[in-house]
């Protein structure tokens, strides 16, 4: 027979333990849904603050403006592809693999070789013209099958004059890597530029080359046909051939009259895309 005091103690312990059992058991039972794991979002891909393309190769052009003969030499060019401005405003497209449509800034560069009368008997009596380097900027507009641009440059070395160029292209894309372009060009220069290359001062004048003062304006117009091939996202091949006819005072210059009133030039080179972050 159970002792009354022992029975009462057992009953009290069972009552106290009953509410603790399910709580204790629940604290040990966990499922996969209860174990939340934090996964940080992927870091955004870095975007360049500035992306531009350099072209370097060889070209051939008249030995001087109005010359009958072509001369080979180095060919360089610079073009902007993307620019991120303070405040988040962007121009162009930072991804070289996707089309870059709309307006975008572009760089503009041209080198003009020295002209010396000692190298060309038909220029006897004319003063030498130093080599010139033109630097400037432009604005381009691109769509899938059309593009246009306007460039403005200054002769930072040499002629110290302002020049500009307008151009447009019909664009064909036979493949993702090959692009074909063809379109008109118009070249302009101020009076300082025109007189440097097409003028003849009274002190230089001769029977073959009478004195002539050239005015600025549209000095030549023509057409260019070119092609680019993308080797990969960074490297490419670029080539073009261009035909121009001299206009206005450039055409009427005695220097051009005793030579040719048109010009053919060509180029072939490699391009390299460069991205800078800031």
Residue 120 tokens read as 């060309």
3-state secondary structure of 124: coil
- Residue 237 phi/psi, 5-degree rounding, is -120, 135
CB of 51 within 8 A of CB of 275?
yes
Beta strands in the chain (DSSP E): 50-62, 70-84, 90-92, 102-112, 132-143, 146-157, 162-172, 178-189, 217-230, 235-246, 262-276
Compute and round to an integer the Cα radius of gyration of the chain: 36
Give the pLDDT confidence score for residue 67 in this predicted structure: 97
Give the pLDDT confidence score for residue 50 in this predicted structure: 82
- In order along its 278 residues, the chain shows pLDDT tens digits of 445 554 554 444 444 444 443 443 333 344 444 455 556 666 555 555 788 889 999 999 999 999 999 999 888 887 777 777 777 777 666 776 677 788 877 878 899 999 999 999 999 999 999 999 999 999 999 999 999 999 999 999 999 999 999 999 999 999 999 999 999 999 999 999 999 999 999 999 999 999 999 999 999 999 999 999 999 989 999 999 999 999 999 999 999 999 999 999 999 999 999 888 75
Sign of CA dihedral 209, 212, 214, 218: negative
CB of 112 within 8 A of CB of 158?
yes
- The top-level CATH class assigned to 50-276 is mainly beta
What lies within 8 Å, CB to CB, of 76 at 6+ separation is: 54, 55, 56, 109, 111
CB of 239 within 8 A of CB of 268?
yes
Which residue reads 């307006």 in tokens?
103
Q: How far is CA 182 from the centre of its chain?
A: 18
Q: What is the pTM of this model?
A: 0.77
Q: Of the candidates 257, 246, 263, which has an alpha carbon nearest to the alpha carbon of residue 208?
A: 257
Sign of CA dihedral 113, 117, 121, 124: positive
């Amino acid at each position: 027979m159970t002792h009354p005091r022992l029975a009462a103690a057992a009953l009290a312990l069972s009552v106290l333990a009953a509410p603790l059992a399910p709580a204790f058991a629940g604290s040990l039972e966990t499922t996969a849904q209860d174990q939340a794991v934090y996964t940080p979002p992927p870091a955004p891909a870095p975007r360049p603050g500035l992306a531009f393309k350099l072209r370097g190769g060889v070209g051939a052009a008249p030995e001087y403006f109005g010359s009958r003969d072509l001369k080979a030499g180095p060919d360089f060019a610079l073009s902007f592809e993307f620019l991120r401005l303070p405040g988040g405003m962007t121009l162009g497209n930072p991804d070289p693999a996707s089309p870059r449509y709309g307006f975008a800034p572009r760089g503009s560069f041209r080198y003009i070789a020295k002209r010396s009368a000692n190298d060309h008997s038909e220029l006897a009596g004319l003063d030498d013209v130093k080599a010139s380097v033109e630097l400037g900027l432009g604005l381009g507009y691109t769509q899938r099958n059309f593009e246009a641009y306007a460039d403005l440059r200054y002769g930072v070395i040499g002629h110290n004059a302002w020049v500009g160029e307008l151009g447009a292209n019909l664009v064909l894309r036979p493949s993702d890597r090959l692009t074909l372009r063809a379109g008109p060009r118009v070249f302009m220069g101020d009076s300082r530029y025109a007189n440097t290359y097409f003028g003849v001062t009274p002190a230089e004048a001769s029977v073959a080359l009478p004195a002539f003062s050239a005015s600025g304006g549209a000095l030549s117009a023509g057409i260019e046909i070119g092609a680019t091939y993308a080797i990969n996202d960074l490297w490419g091949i670029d080539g073009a051939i261009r035909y121009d006819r001299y206009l206005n005072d450039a055409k009427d210059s005695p220097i051009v009259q005793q030579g040719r009133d048109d010009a053919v030039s060509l180029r072939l080179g490699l391009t390299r895309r460069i991205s800078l972050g800031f």
